[in-house]
Each structure stands twice: as structure tokens, then as C-alpha cells.
Amino acid sequence: MKSIIKHLFSLLLFLPTVYGQKNQIKQAQKELKAGNSEQVLAVLSPVEYLISNAPDEDKIYFYYTKGSALLDLANKGKNTYKNLSQAALAFGDLIQEEQQANNEKFTPIAKEYLLKIKTDLVNSANEDLIIENFAESSNKFFQAYLIDKKDTLQLYNAALSYKNGDEIDLALKCFEELKAINYVGNVPVYIAFSKKLLKDEYFSTSEERNTKVQSGTHLRPREEFHSKKGDIYKSIAMIYVQKGFKEKAIKAIALARTLNIEDQSLAIVEANLYLETKDYDYFDNLVAVIIETNPNEAELVFNFGMNCQKEQYTDGAEYYYRKAISIDPLYAAAYINLSALFADKTVDITSTMNNLGSSLAEKKRYEELKVQKEQIVQMVIPYLQKVVSIDPFNASVNQLVNIINKSSNIQSGSFAANE
């Protein structure tokens, strides 16, 4: 009996609240008909926190009225993106409530509104892309995807925009979702063989290609579909690299390379990752393949040398600098960096010599190191002479001369004489 009384008492307390809610919603509907959309939101705001426990009919009218007011404000250019996004949420809640209530009174028009909101968001996002406002375009593309998750193109667009805007965490989230849903995103590519270039030429539209074929400059028109899957996997791998997740990056790049076999940039990134993990043998094997396919790219080889030097793989650095010189004997920077490697060795040797004692063994070791240092100095001289012959005003030469002179305890004049 007591529990019944308690329940009735709670119900009596709740009735004024429900009644007040209904009045607020009715008042908001009047304001909506009068075109006072801002007032609609002001009227609904005090009862919004109660709406989750309201009767189904009240929920339906609440979400419909709120969504309509927000859409009207967006159409009037007031906080367009914010109001469109909130309107989409309201209409989404409305459709869900009507499905649960077995009542689709407003569902058809709500779906119509959602389609319009999505279209407006995508159009606005594309306008933002033109002016490179990636922060706005990415959010709009993503909101459009949330409205219609079947339109996975908008998720891809959001991922690219987040990436271009350096929002790498959000970009990664989108790319990983694309990977999870196995997004392919086949894009048509229009191709025809160019008689002048003697190779296939690619066109963005079939009309452009057909015009060339009709003019007689091209033949063998065809159409291929290029998948976006390789780009997605590559983007995931590169973001892992950027975030410093080396193990994840190595796995992602290996997978990306199976989809981008000819993508040299991925091969280079993969090699450098193995360098950073100190797996020098695997790094050298990967680089050997890259160099084999690019036998005349001295700068590419030189960059591998610099990466090795940065990671303190001195044997690798020396090898790739020498390799760059063999490809291009006038590559001054390779001679400079190779000389710098040896100059660093003389500094290290000098430090070791200075820490030796006066025992017979240490004196012997001192003389051995002295000979090593002199041999290195004699080895560096021809490299620096070569740099001077290529670039007489190269400032790096004087800096290296000073380093070697200090470590070798010889006068700069005597070194210059050797040059």
C-alpha cells in the first residue's frame, strides 16, 4: 500500500512538469509558424534536459520543432555550419523516435531536410577546399558522412582534409575507418595513346579525351578505374611515421607497398624506418633495390648517406657518400659530408689520445692513434681540394680545415700548403 501511495505521489509531482513541457513545445510551435526561429530555441532550451523522459509524442514534436528552427537559421546565414550540424542531430533523433513509436508522421520530411543539409554541408566544404580552409571543410565532410554513412566518399574527403590541415589524429581515425569498411573508392580515369608523346596520356573527363581522339592526335581510347585503397594504406603508414609509431609504421608500409608497388616514396620511407630501428642489413638491402631502379640519382643516394650520418651509421654514410660521388663526380656536398665524417673521426681520436696515460702500453696506443689520425687527414685533403675546384667559395671547406687543424695540432697554413 505504501509503495502504491509513493508511486502515485511521484506521478502527481511529475504531471505539472509534463504539462509544462507540452506548453513549452506548443509555444515553440507558435513561434516557428511566426518565423521567430531564435525564439523557438529560447523557449525549448529550459525543457530540453527533460525531453528524454517525455512521452513519445512530445519527443517527436520537440525534435521536429527544434530541427526546423535550426535549419531556418542556417538558411538565413546565421551560424550556418553549427546550426546545420545541430539540425541534423535533431532530425536524426526525430527519425529514431518515430521508428521506435511506430509513427512516421514527420520522417519523410525529416529525411528530405537531412538530404538538403548534407548537400549544403558538402557544397560548403568544397568551397572551403578552394580557399584551403581545411579546418572547416574536414568537419563539414565528416558531418555529411554522419548524416548518410552510405556515402563513404565524404568520409574519404574528410580524411584528406584533416590530413591537409595537419589534424593527423582525426585523419588517422577516418583513414582507419575507411580501411575497416574496405573502402575502395574506384575513380574513373580516361586514357588515350598520344601519337606525339608515344605513350598513354591521362584525362580528367571522357569529353576531353574524346576531343583529342576526334582531332586525330590520340588513339586507342579506354577507361580504367583506379582504387583509393593504396592511398588510404599509405596515408595510415605515413601518419604512423609522423607520430613516431615505428613498429606500426613498418607493418602499415609493408601492407601499403603491396598496393603501391611502384611508389618509390614508400620504399624510401620503409628503408629509413629500418635504419632508425638499427636493422642496417635490411636497410642496405632495401636501399640497394631503390638505387638499382634509380642508378643515376646521385641526390637520392646522398640523402641516404645523410640519414645514415644522422642515425650514427657511419659505415653506411661513408658508403653512400662515395656512391653519390661515383654517380656524380662533381657533387660537392658529397665530398663535404664525407670529409666531415672523417673530421669527426679525428676529433674522437684526439679525445681518446688525450685521455691516455704514460704507461708503455698507452704510449704505444698513442702512437698508433696518431698514425691513424694522420692517415685520415691525408685522406681528407684530396676531397677538400676537389670541393675547392668545384666551388671555390664554399664556406664549409674552411670550417673543416679548422676542425682538422685543431685536432691534428698543425697550423692551418701547413694544411693549406698541402692543398
| Whether 200 and 119 share a structural domain | no
Among all chains, which residue has been given the C-alpha cell 704507461? 359
| Whether 342 and 410 share a structural domain | yes
Instruction: Tell whether the torsion through CA atoms of 34, 38, 40 and 43 is positive or negative.
Output: negative
User: In the predicted model, is pLDDT for residue 105 greater than 90?
Assistant: no
* Highest averaged pLDDT of the listed ranges 56-65, 256-265, 320-329, 373-382: 320-329
Stretch 369-387: mean pLDDT, rounded?
80
Could you tell me what percent of the chain has a pLDDT over 70?
Answer: 90
User: In the predicted model, is pLDDT for residue 5 greater than 60?
Assistant: no
Domain presence at residue 174:
no
Q: How many domains does the chain have?
A: 3
Q: Which of 128, 145, 164 is the last residue of a domain?
A: 128
| Whether 49 and 123 share a structural domain | yes
Note down the domain range covering 82.
2-128
- Give me the pLDDT at residue 405, please: 63
- Give me the pLDDT at residue 41, please: 83
* Highest averaged pLDDT of the listed ranges 51-65, 224-238, 405-419: 224-238
Residue 19 near residue 11, CB atoms below 8 Å: no
- Give me the pLDDT at residue 275, please: 92
CA end-to-end span of the chain: 111
Complete edge-to-edge strand list for the sheet that includes strand 199-203: 199-203, 187-194, 218-226
Query: What is the three-class DSSP state of 399?
Result: helix
Stretch 365-371: mean pLDDT, rounded?
81
Q: Which amino acid is at 229?
A: K
Domain presence at residue 239:
no
pTM surpassing 0.85? no
Domain presence at residue 382:
yes
Q: Which of 95, 128, 161 is the last residue of a domain?
A: 128
Grid cell listed for 359: 704507461
Instruction: Tell whether the torsion through CA atoms of 389, 392, 395 and 401 is positive or negative.
Output: positive
User: In the predicted model, is pLDDT for residue 289 greater than 90?
Assistant: yes
Residue (of 345, 296, 301, 339) closest to 320 by Cα position: 301
Query: What is the three-class DSSP state of 167?
Result: coil
| Whether 6 and 124 share a structural domain | yes
- Give me the pLDDT at residue 404, please: 63
Q: Which amino acid is at 210?
A: N
223's enclosing H/E stretch is strand 218-226
User: In the predicted model, is pLDDT for residue 374 greater than 60?
Assistant: yes
Residue (of 351, 389, 391, 395) closest to 373 by Cα position: 351
Domain presence at residue 350:
yes
Domain presence at residue 110:
yes
Domain presence at residue 355:
yes
* Highest averaged pLDDT of the listed ranges 57-61, 249-253, 379-383: 249-253
| HSE of 337, CA atoms in CB hemisphere, 13 A | 27
| Whether 108 and 199 share a structural domain | no
Among all chains, which residue has been given the C-alpha cell 535550426? 70
Q: Which of 61, 96, 128 is the last residue of a domain?
A: 128
Stretch 125-135: mean pLDDT, rounded?
92
Ramachandran category for residue 290: left, alpha or beta (phi over 0 → left; psi -120 to 50 → alpha):
alpha
User: In the predicted model, is pLDDT for residue 14 greater than 80?
Assistant: no
| Whether 115 and 16 share a structural domain | yes
